[in-house]
Structure 1
Amino acid sequence: MLTVYLDSQDFSHFSTKHKDHAKYASLKWELLQLKKDGNVRFVFSDVHVYEVFPKDASATAEGLDRIRTIADFCGSESMPSFTSLIEYEVRSVVSKSTGGEAPVISNNWFPDLGIAGTPMERAPSPPNRKERRAMESQVRKNSSPLAAEFRRNYPFFKDSNVLIRYYGHDVEWCDVVAMIERSIQDITSFATWLACSKDANLNLPEILRGGYVSYVAAVTAIREEVARQVVAIEGAEQRNELAEAIGSGLDKSLVELRASIAHSLMDELGEYDGSVIVDDSMPSFDSLLRYLAELLRRSSQLSTPRKPIGSDFADALHVSYLPRVDIFRTDAAAANALAHIYPARKNDVVADVFKLPDIIRTRVGAESR
């Protein structure tokens, strides 16, 4: 079965509330039929959710419809969160170097909650018979005050009675954590609660916005510096020298970044003496850096330098999932860059969503022969 990673714009276009929905309706039906027939599975990442989530109250209906569209295509089949994916690859390399235990990768779109090692307090011993009967009665009648409070505050929880059973020593904290993670995995329920909750202190769109601003500012500064130097050029020879110097500088910076970025991102590597160089042993991390380097190269060229845009940052995060899927949907500009970086995977990167059904059928047919 093929694994397909759609573009965030696809989920917007396939949404029933999008102004061009009619144009995409038959394509949506065709792709979902391919899924129903068992030819393909669609997966989503946390980057999709951050991008399609409503940005403010006025956009709630449209945003939640985009979330439901993700669920229509993917169900609960998600890739690991971007941070979990990068941490997994770095830890895998370190564990091989040190002989330590290999890490386990999560397929939950939401980053690690960090609650596995901090269980809620409960009585040191199980309740007596009378207390247990009262607790079981409350659970059966769905009248537990504690469960009622959780349902009121966190209606996306799938089985808040697990928490009651935890206090009754019938299940352990890991079961509570698993219940919470399963609940968040249902993005429709979780996103609806998050969008409508006045108390939830979690702004999903803002998670990417800071990266947008920093990325555009950094690349724009380099682009403008190149433009200033180009103005001072008097002949072709100087132009060639400048182009060569810029290329060498970018190559050197990328090498230095590959050797330092893992330590910069993960505090726990402070106690690790070995080097952690990002290369193809970390395929997702490597893809991210390759893509960003290509965009920087295009924005630094002397003739018609590319203007950076905020969505480049999100595109780079999406690209980190390319090594882990069979077919990767993106826009024409990103597809062009990826064809330059990964010529062997040119046919796996789809710039025209309307060509996707035929590409899937061709691939499925080739694999079945």
Structure 2
Amino acid sequence: MPSFDDALIEPTSPAVLLREELDSMHLNRKSRRKHEQEFFDSRGGLRSSAYKRLRSLALTAEQHAADQFPMTPAALRDVIQYSLGIGSRETAIKGIRDSMADLECFADWYAKQWERVAPVSLCIREIGESLMESLLALAQEVSGLCEGLANAGEPSDAVATGLRDVFTSLLRNQPRSLVRRLAAAQGITVGDAFDCSWENAPTLMTVANVMCHLGRRSALLPQRHRKPLASDFGDILHTVYVPHVDIFRADGFMANTISEAKLPLKTTVVGKFLNLPSAIERRLQG
């Protein structure tokens, strides 16, 4: 999840819930003032009658919270208690944050509140656009370099060997580069002695290898490279699951890229949806 302030996930406070209730009643000015005096003291605090009214609004508050945020049952309880004036704002916000880490809750939130969720995940699309532009620029640079070498009489085999060397170096250094960048983002210093291996860091190694092979297919094959897409970054992120599942479903390009990487894993990668049932059957029989 990207960093964001609590204003984005601010649960409805008791005072706001009551004022929304008054708005829905379409009262004239005199009646509105009477009800406000009934619920709020001179400093804007809640009177005892307000808590009684809030309890009667419990179902409305529950529906409002469930529609507004991704919610586990525990988080929903915390938010409702806050909305009813008997819980804390900090506990409610923590519950929402924890729910955002629940993949099922977050996916349901996308389905119900797309316009509200989109700003939260905007950073992923922005990074995807940036990666696409970088790969496009690299592809153009590599094509221009190869064309220049060919015009200078450089043998095609030598050019191909040079590109393979670039890729091999990238493949060797990318895992450590990712570790250092992730550590730096968290304010952690990483020395040279850390062990970045398939045994100790299968997820990191998977992402690094797939990233390199995607880059190769998108930029380091001058005559037959595949045009990069903004969605490539999301596909790379999804590969964090590859070492931890029996079967991984991807589109055709990503499935071929993963297969080309020859990952030392037992995961079955399926590139066509129609092939998924037979892959499941084979795993069950095996």
| Conserved? CA contact 1:338–1:346, under 8 Å | no
Q: Deviations over 1:226-278 (max 9, x none)?
A: 22233232699722222222222233234443333333234365453524564
Correspondent of 2:175 among 258, 262, 265: 258
Query: Which residue of structure 2 aligns with residue 285 of structure 1?
Result: 204
Q: Is residue 68 of structure 2 the alignment partner of residue 154 of structure 1?
A: yes
Partner of residue 123, structure 2 = 207
Cα distance in 2 for residues equivalent to 1:172 and 1:212: 35
1:316 to 211, 221, 236: 236
Q: Deviations over 1:173-212 (max 9, x none)?
A: 557633664487534652355335xxx4842563332222
User: CA 1:193–1:301 in 2, change beyond 3 Å: closer, same or farther?
Assistant: closer
Task: Read off the aligned partner of 1:290 and give its amino acid letter.
Answer: N
What's the offset of the Cα at 1:300?
0.9
1:335 matches 2:255 = yes
Aligned residues: 239
Letter in 1 for 2:56: K
- What SS does structure 2 have at the residue aligned with 1:262? helix
Q: Is the 8 A contact 1:227 1:302 kept in 2?
A: yes
Distance 2:70 2:231 in 1: 30
- Which residue does the alignment assign to 1:326? 246
* Counterparts of 1:314 and 1:220, CA distance in 2: 17
| Structure 2, gaps ≥5 residues long | 12-45
8 Å CA contact retained: 2:206, 2:239: yes
Q: Give me the TM-score of the superposition, normalised by structure 1.
A: 0.51
Paired position in structure 1 for 2:166: 249
Q: Relative to 1, partners in 2 of residues 1:113 and 1:324: Cα closer, same or farther, differing over 3 Å?
A: farther
How far did 1:349 drift? Answer: 0.6
Flag the structure with more relative contact order, 1 or 2, with Cα contacts below 8 A and sequence separation at least 6: 1
Gap change, CA 1:305 and 1:152, over 3 Å in 2: closer
Give the conservation status (yes or no) of the 8 Å contact 2:180–2:190: no
Closer, same or farther: CA 164–228 of 1 in aligned 2, 3 Å: closer
Give the direction of change, closer, same or farther, for the CA distance of 1:164–1:311 in structure 2 (3 Å limit).
closer
Name the CA shift for 1:253/1:191 in 2 (closer, same or farther; >3 Å).
closer
Q: How does 1:155-304 map to 2 (within 5 A)?
A: 158-159=76-77, 160-163=79-82, 168=86, 177-178=94-95, 181-182=98-99, 185-187=104-106, 190-195=109-114, 200=116, 202-203=118-119, 206-231=122-147, 232-233=149-150, 238-267=155-184, 270-275=187-192, 276=194, 278-280=196-198, 281-298=200-217, 299-304=219-224
CA root-mean-square deviation: 4.3
| Partners of 1:300 and 1:306 within 8 A in 2 | no
Change (3 A) 1:273 1:189: closer
Q: Deviations over 1:321-347 (max 9, x none)?
A: 111111111122222221121366587
Q: Distance in 2 between matches of 1:181 and 1:249?
A: 42
